[in-house]
Amino acid sequence: MSDRGLKQLSIATLLVLAAGVALAVFRAPIDEFGFVQKIFYIHVPLAIVALAGFIAAGIEGYRHLMTDDPRHDANSYVFIHISVVYGAATLITGMIWAKAAWGHYWVWDEPSLVSFLIVFLLYATYYPFRYAIEDRDRQARYASIFAITAGLFVPLNFMAVRMAENLVHPRVFATAEGGLPGSMLFPFLVCLAGLALLYVTLVKLELLGKRTAGRVARLSAEARAAGDGDDAPRAGVSTGSRIAPKMESR
């Protein structure tokens, strides 16, 4: 992903998100759960975008293995990073909704909550796993395999958890998702678009930050080499970024 058009993208994100929130708050009807039901317009898009990001990370991991291009590894890393942040937000908003709708912050009989928590915990191990490997190239390769394995795990896990549930509990979300009336669907879609745009903006920002940090580290190494009369810049001085060492040189 390139970082061109970041400013325009940020403005578009802000506008769409503001429109989505305004539509959800003022236009959408209030159902039997009252105002707290509005969290639905943030919670469900957050979950959808987070899962899509995990799957995109798996695809980027696959492309990294195929091409050995560190940019794909950086993309995979940043996708997982932002998706984990989105996942934490999904869990928190989901718990607020559960407290309002069912009276408990955590409901073990609700497969959506449980399966999402398992996926979140798995991706939370990405960081200790990745940084436990010292060699940079090996780290990138192993992280890609993790991204592919975990990406395939996501649908399998949802299926297994859903099957373990006997479906005796009322499926509040199923009825809501099954037949969203037009007055709810439009604000929902705008919120989804807004949060997806926010995701892309955050991904681009983080990639830009990593690339800049890498460039700064390389330039300062060159300056030091020129000043001290060192023969060559030492390898592995990019202290700014812990991933994708060769990213800035492409």
Partner 1 sequence: MNSSRRAFTAVVAKDLRTELRTLRSLPAMVLFAVTAFIIFRFGLDRTVLSGSMAAGVLWVTLLFAAILGINRVFLPEREEGGFDAFRLAPVDRSVLFAAKAVVLFLYLGAVELVVVPVFAGFFLDSWAGLPPLLAVLAGANLGLAAIGTLISSMAVNSRARDLLVPLLLLPLSVPLMIAATSATAKLLDAAGPDYTRFGTWLLVLALYDGIFWLVGYSTFEYLLED
Q: Which residues bind partner 1 (CB under 8 A)?
A: 65, 118-119, 121-122, 125, 128-129, 132-135, 138, 141-142, 144-146, 148-150, 152-153, 156-157, 159-161, 163-164
Q: Cβ-count burial of 93 within 10 angstroms (0-12 exposed, 13-18 middle, 19+ buried)? A: middle
Q: Which of 190, 173, 250, 166 is nearest to 215 (CA)?
A: 250
Kindly tell me which of 57 and 191 has the beta carbon lying closer to partner 1.
57
- Alpha carbons 134 and 67: distance in angstroms, whole number: 22
Please, which residues have CB within 8 angstroms of residue 30's CB and are 6 or more apart in sequence?
37, 38
Smaller CB distance to partner 1: residue 64 or 210?
64
Minimum gap (Å) between residue 125 Cβ and partner 1? 5
State the alpha helices, DSSP H only, in the chain: 6-22, 40-67, 70-102, 111-124, 126-131, 136-164, 172-178, 182-228
Residue 62, amino acid: Y
Nearer to partner 1, 56 or 221 (CB): 56
Least CB distance to partner 1 at residue 73 (A): 12
Closest separation between CB of residue 184 and partner 1, Å?
A: 33
Query: Smaller CB distance to partner 1: residue 80 or 148?
Result: 148
